[in-house]
Chains A and B, each alone.
Chain A
Amino acid sequence: MKQKITSLQATAIIANAVTPSALMVIPNQVIQTAKQDGWLSPMLSFLFILPLLYIIVAISRRYNGKPLMEWLEGSFGKAAATGIALLLGAYYLIGSASIVRQFSNFISQQFMITTPLAVVALLITIVAVYICAQGVEVIGRVSFFVMVVSMLFLGINLFLLWGQYDWHHFLPVFETMPLQQLTASVPPVGWLTDITVVLLLMPYMKNTAHAGKAALWGAALASVFFCLIIAITLAVLGAKLIASLSYPVFTALGTVQIGEFIERIDVVLIMAWIASMFTKASVFVFCFNQMMLYSFRLRPHNGLYIAIGLFVAATALYSWSRNSAVNEYIFKTLTIYKILNNFTIFLLIWIGLLFAGRKANAEEAVT
């Protein structure tokens, strides 16, 4: 039986595909440029993402119910569809690998210092591939559960951090020059472009007409989450210190201390965040798997999951020789790659569908 997900689960998947790994880098990336006005940047980013949302809605309106690549093959031909699948496959492979590596680095630096990075990366990949192998329904259910738990834990942390907030850290407001503010909004745009996963999830949605709505809600949720996280970090640590910290969000959360009995409760949120990282990795591995199945005309098989897992883990481990290279890549190249890939490919698909539709209409008129 073909697996199906609800619109709510699709929204959760989209939000989870954007936020978890961004959480580690967004405050640092944004505040370095926008300083105390950093909390405004995700709002601006949301505006920049609206054209992509329009493209998603436009594509989803023309959707005919077939699996995505088969549908594109029907419109553009086999070669073009395979080309798209390969390009997207490469994107999701790099995406999966960077998530696994970023996640492994964090675990390795914070908790499992002496455990070889390869072991951590392999364990993460095994979990991600396992979730992916269970199918899109499981990804949907897990994502929804993780999203609810993350919101709950974030709420708890927001409340517990109350004593640490210094609202003066937001002053003076609007000091950042418009150009700097625009520059600061680019990294969140990069992460938000991953809402395009909704087009790959569309064939599995119970109501495909809601794909656009799910993308919109996913993007809105992710933007609000970015705003909140940046604001919390700013309120606790101020703009200057954040710039020199690798994981400012977790540092800020780690400052909670109420009496002698409530302290270091950052692990509570980290727990939810770890769960969301697993689901994010599984979503990217799922998309990569879909593209590989189509590109090489493969059938789903357990052996394929093992191969994909090893490929992702190896790419994660051997693409960057040191952690600083991963950070450099994520801070600079990945943002541009995300924007170029997601905007360009789906814009071209949309334009292609427009032409294909006109051509079909013209042929119909002739006959």
Chain B
Amino acid sequence: MTAVKTARSAVVLAFFALLLTGCWDRIELNELAITSATSVDRDGEDWVVSFQVVIPSTISSGIGIMGAGSSSAPVIVYSTKGKSIREANSRSYLESPRKLYFAHNRIIVISEETARRGLDPILDVYLRNPDARETVDVLITRGNARKVLEQMMQIERIPGNGIREINNMEEKYLSTLPEVKLYELAMSLSSDSAGALLPEVYLSGKTETDSLKAFEKTTLPSKLRLGRIAVINKDKMVGWLSRQEGLGVAFIRNTVDMTMIAPACPDDPSKQASVSIGSSTTELKPAIRDGKLSVKVQIKASGSLTQIDCGIKDLNDPATVAALEQAAEKEIVKLADSGWKAVRRLKTDAVGFADLAHRKYRKQWRKWKKDWDSVFANIQVEIAADVTLTNVGLSKEPIQVERLKEGKK
């Protein structure tokens, strides 16, 4: 009787095991083309979508960019064209023996032309389809976006992962260019401000590093680099910010985690000190003056001195430190002011003042939102900074050999 029961249970279990195969959606790993990066270009009215697909056999072998004994590239790049992004995607079946798999897609690189023509279709594709992840990093490039995907990198075998890591590191340690995920972009553009910033990735150098032969040398003919900051208004790109302006905007937006500034020496403006900002908080205080919106930007930062080339003598002297702090404050105010002027020039509320105005003055907001662009253009901004130098490093005076030799104080 027990044997019959066991047999019956075994049959039932075996039957239910059949249900665990994924039914019609069953797919084997070796049928997938794992995409690590995607790019979007425009060709007339058509969309050109490029895919950087990982070659698992190359990735799994050994260490280094080429793997142990492997002479083939770790990724392959190919493009498809269509009247829509998804139509272009579907045309990959005409040339790829494997189904594109986007779960490991790390970045989407959009060409400047595509961004200037509008990002709505891209946002729609990523928020509508379950196979496209809304957590990909979005970057903009000046020319052809496919070129970025073709470029190999040192250290990181998969360029898509590498670009994401660069973006991530930059945001963490420099805070100049934001790391923007696709859903964050959608959130920013759908906010009251309707503005967003995206980092630029570009190829520096003249020859492309799209062959493994280049890795036989210690220097590469070209590299992938992060550059300026693209400004998006509503869903269209409207211009660029320089890195300095980008850092200034980051200070206003309170998105600076760590960064490096180079204030002019208090005694000699032609020379610089370097201050590593370890933490920064920005308080925005909106007010209405003569019926117009004004915003007081109060930046409070702390950091440490990491280099000094000034004529200052004693870094233990509070007056010297106070002078350096003042120089750092001046530098931050200069950066923030240049950032503010740049976004105002581009008529894009990338600093989020509309959201601020909505939160503080909800009654007036109903009126302002009808013509926010003109309200934004007339906002008076006052920027102030308060820097505390918590650490001057391991040397209590600037290292100048001549002075050390003579034992001068």
Contact = CB atoms under 8 A, between A and B. Distances in A.
Nearest to A257: B135
A263 B164 CA distance: 15
A114 B135 CA distance: 24
Nearest to A259: B168
Nearest to A175: B362
Interface stretch (B18-26, B293-301, B319-327): B18-26
Nearest to B23: A115
A112 interface: yes
A245 B127 contact: yes
A119 B26 CA distance: 14
Contacts of A240: 187, 190-191
A241 B133 CA distance: 16
A240 B134 CA distance: 16
27 contacts: A111-B130, A112-B22, A112-B25, A113-B130, A115-B22, A116-B24, A119-B24, A123-B19, A168-B355, A171-B359, A172-B358, A172-B359, A175-B362, A237-B183, A238-B187, A238-B190, A240-B191, A241-B183, A241-B186, A241-B187, A241-B190, A244-B190, A245-B127, A251-B183, A254-B134, A255-B134, A264-B133
Contacts of A112: 22-25
B24 A168 contact: no
Interface in A272-322: none
Interface residues of A, number: 27
A98 to B, nearest CB: 22
Contact of B183 (A120, A172, A255): A255
Given A115-B25, A123-B19, A255-B135, A244 B191 contact: no
A361 interface: no
Nearest to B192: A240
Given A112-B24, A113-B130, A114-B25, A168 B359 contact: yes
Contacts of A64: none
A109 interface: yes
Given A109-B130, A240-B190, A241-B183, 10 more contacts: A115-B22, A168-B355, A238-B187, A238-B190, A244-B127, A255-B135, A255-B183, A257-B135, A264-B103, A264-B133
Nearest to B365: A172
B81 interface: no
Contacts of B19: 123
B181 interface: yes
A136 to B, nearest CB: 23
A110 interface: yes
Interface string B96-110: 000000010000000
Contacts of A254: 133-135
A263 B135 contact: yes
A245 B134 CA distance: 12
Leading 8 A-B pairs by shortest Cβ distance: A115-B23, A115-B24, A240-B190, A171-B359, A114-B24, A112-B25, A172-B362, A110-B130
Nearest to B181: A255
Contacts, number: 59
A161 to B, nearest CB: 13
Interface of A: 109-116, 119-120, 123, 168, 171-172, 175, 237-238, 240-241, 244-245, 251, 254-255, 257, 263-264
Interface string B343-360: 000000000000100111
Contacts of B23: 112, 115, 119-120
B368 to A, nearest CB: 14
Interface in B187-206: 187, 190-191
Contacts of B360: 172
B123 to A, nearest CB: 10
Contacts of B130: 109-111, 113
Contacts of B186: 241
Contacts of B191: 238, 240
Nearest to A114: B24
Contacts of B358: 172
Interface in B115-147: 127, 130, 133-135
Contacts of B134: 251, 254-255
A115 B127 CA distance: 22
A237 to B, nearest CB: 6
B240 to A, nearest CB: 26
A112 B186 CA distance: 26
A120 B24 CA distance: 11
A254 B22 CA distance: 22
Interface string B17-37: 001001111000000000000
Contact of A111 (B25, B181, B359): B25
Given A172-B359, A240-B191, A263-B135, A113 B25 contact: yes
A183 B218 CA distance: 67
Nearest to B130: A110
A238 B184 CA distance: 10
Contacts of B22: 112, 115
Contacts of A120: 23
A257 to B, nearest CB: 6
Contacts of B359: 168, 171-172
A112 B362 CA distance: 45
Contacts of B133: 254, 264
Contacts of A110: 130
A159 B327 CA distance: 41
A251 B23 CA distance: 25
Interface in B1-51: 19, 22-25
Contacts of A257: 135
